Structure 1
Amino acid sequence: MRLGHLVRDAGITGRELSARCGWHPAKTSRVLRAKAVPSDSDLRAWCTACGAEDQAADLIATARAVESMYLEWRRQHRDGMRRTQHDVLARNAAARLCRAYTSNVIPGFFQTDDYAQALMRSTFSCTILSRSAAMRQETGSWPFASPSKATRTGGLSPS
């Protein structure tokens, strides 16, 4: 997003940016759509082309931090998600207040078995149902927000 903002703030098009940076317009498009990761030199060239050289160091640092977080996530989940899901379940069970927001489905705490199975059709439904059971133990409060889209018919059906 920040790279797209730089282009807009500079008042240039993606094609102009590509020409200034000396690369094919497809590369600019891939970076803007997050289909390609720009290198440090790409970020410097981008900032220079947009007249925002002062932002290059921050963008490079941010890109490196994101890459580090991704690599850490991959390391933690290289053996699957089961341990992470159990950790989340333990934190949810111990919570005195748990807030949830989902934009397209009913929050896992409130999902029935049929709904969860229709939604996931995988081992994840067991974890979702465990969270639902933890909520029903009445050990804390569970405020949540869910847009009407999640509860309207025409979405996911439990069949």
Structure 2
Amino acid sequence: MRLKLSKSRPPDYLPLLNDMTQEELDEQGGYQMYDEQIVNNSLDVSKTIDEKNRLVLTWKGRENQENILPTIVYTGSQINFNGKNLTSNQLQKTTLGAPIVQSKKGVNKFTIGYKPLVNIKLLMSIKFVTIVSLFIFAFAKIINNFIYFKQK
């Protein structure tokens, strides 16, 4: 048996845009589009992560032209393209959700992050308080049982 090396495995999740169904995405070759637009994208892009854990794509444009970027934009994505803050609705996207931007001549920068609907710090605080409360309750129960059995 011979194994074939693969550049990357298919993604577990592809977005469904414009009320598209999973079957329609499959019919249109969603995973093939993913390979073309993301994995084998011909744009020479440098990918980094900034201090806020956002993906930063930079590339040098030779002229003003339209480019498909090797990332996916979701409804809650926070986007900055060449210094201008944009929403998902303000961007033209491929069927798959890859942004289509008008590059300028020179250095271009596309930053994308995601702001969750619920504040993560609030959720973590609630989790911490719950865990501490459970430990206090368990400790009090153990002490109470110890005192009860000692009195017998």
TM norm. shorter chain > 0.5: no
Q: TM-score range by the shorter chain?
A: under 0.3
Greater strand share, structure number = 2
Q: Structure 1 length as normaliser, TM-score? A: 0.21
Q: Which has the higher contact order (CA 8 A, sep 6+)?
A: 2
Greater helix share, structure number = 1
Rg larger for: 2
